[in-house]
């Protein structure tokens, strides 16, 4: 599978070296295929996107467009969900509820933020992969409109589906699944972009305030090393870190 190739291909990914350009933390995470888990949720999704039988889910995943795989790997695996969760669970100083807790805006916002790091660490190597990243960016923007339309402006399911189909390149079945998810889970889809925008905002603020003292690796460490936080707590923590770094 191409997902596994992205993980295994050291020439294409070179994860360890690239991650050390983004983080100063040490980690012990590993990645491997888990077919026994696939029989439960439909490999390789981590968020129960499909409710049909796993084998059908696997078959549909094999038919998905290929241009978004690099972006999806950055989001779901490294340095997205898998990496951030692994770091939190390895932090001995955190109580259990902090290791495994979840705030959507932080958790999904962090996973969206590293997608754009594909440019900085050389994952996107051609226009095809860049197109995949931009397609996902469009989808995230469309989510903001659709979720708001459904839960604040009395949109119908058909209106939401029509808008989504006209605004993205997603296949019809995936669009319907996405819309049904937004209907039963109000505002969850908003958390992705809101969280990403807050992390980007804090990075820009840190760069401006610290100038030559700004260290991207140290900034990323501060974002992920405390587990999943509310955005207000994250902002307070990062601003306190900036004050301390200025004084150092």
- Are 123 and 70 in contact by the 8 Å Cβ rule? The answer is yes
> Could you report the per-residue pLDDT of 80-104, keeping only the tens digit for each?
998 899 888 888 888 998 888 899 9
Q: What is the pTM assigned to this prediction?
A: 0.82
Kindly tell me if the per-residue pLDDT of 227 is higher than 50: yes
Tell which wins on pLDDT, 63 or 93.
93
> Given pLDDT bands bounded at 50, 70 and 90, which one contains residue 173?
confident
Q: Specify the pLDDT at position 45.
A: 43
* Cα distance between residue 3 and residue 8, in whole Å: 9
Mean per-residue pLDDT for 39-60? Answer: 48
Q: What is the number of other CB atoms lying within 10 angstroms of the CB of residue 216?
A: 16
Please say if the pLDDT value at position 166 is more than 90: yes
Residue 2 has pLDDT above 60, yes or no: no
- 219: phi then psi, degrees, rounded to nearest 5: -60, -50
pLDDT at 126: 87
Q: What's the pLDDT score for residue 61?
A: 59
Q: Please tell me the total number of residues recorded for the chain in this structure.
A: 248
**pLDDT at residue number 60:** 58
Is the backbone peptide bond immediately before 79 cis, with ω within 30 degrees of 0?
A: yes
The dihedrals phi and psi of 25, each to the nearest 5 degrees, come to -70, 150
């Amino acid at each position: 599978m191409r997902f596994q190739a992205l993980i295994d291909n050291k020439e294409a990914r070179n994860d360890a070296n690239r991650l050390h350009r983004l983080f100063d933390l040490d980690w012990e995470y590993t990645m491997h295929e888990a077919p026994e888990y696939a029989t439960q949720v439909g490999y390789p999704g981590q968020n129960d996107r499909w409710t049909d039988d796993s084998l059908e889910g696997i078959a549909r995943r094999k038919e998905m467009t290929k241009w978004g795989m690099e972006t999806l790997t950055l989001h779901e695996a490294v340095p997205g969900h898998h990496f951030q969760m692994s770091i939190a669970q390895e932090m001995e100083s955190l109580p259990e509820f902090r290791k495994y807790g979840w705030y959507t805006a932080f958790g999904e916002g962090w996973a969206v933020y590293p997608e754009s790091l594909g440019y900085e660490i050389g994952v996107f190597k051609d226009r095809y992969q860049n197109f995949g990243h931009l397609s996902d960016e469009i989808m995230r923007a469309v989510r903001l409109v659709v979720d708001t339309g459904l839960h604040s402006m009395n949109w119908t399911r058909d209106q939401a589906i029509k808008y989504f189909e006209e605004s993205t390149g997603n296949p019809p079945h995936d669009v319907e699944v996405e819309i049904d998810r937004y209907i039963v889970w109000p505002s969850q889809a908003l958390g992705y972009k809101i969280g990403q925008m807050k992390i980007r905002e804090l990075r820009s603020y840190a760069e401006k305030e610290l100038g030559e003292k700004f260290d991207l690796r140290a900034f990323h460490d501060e974002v992920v090393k405390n587990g999943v936080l509310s955005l207000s707590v994250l902002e307070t923590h990062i601003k306190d870190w900036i004050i301390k770094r200025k004084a150092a």
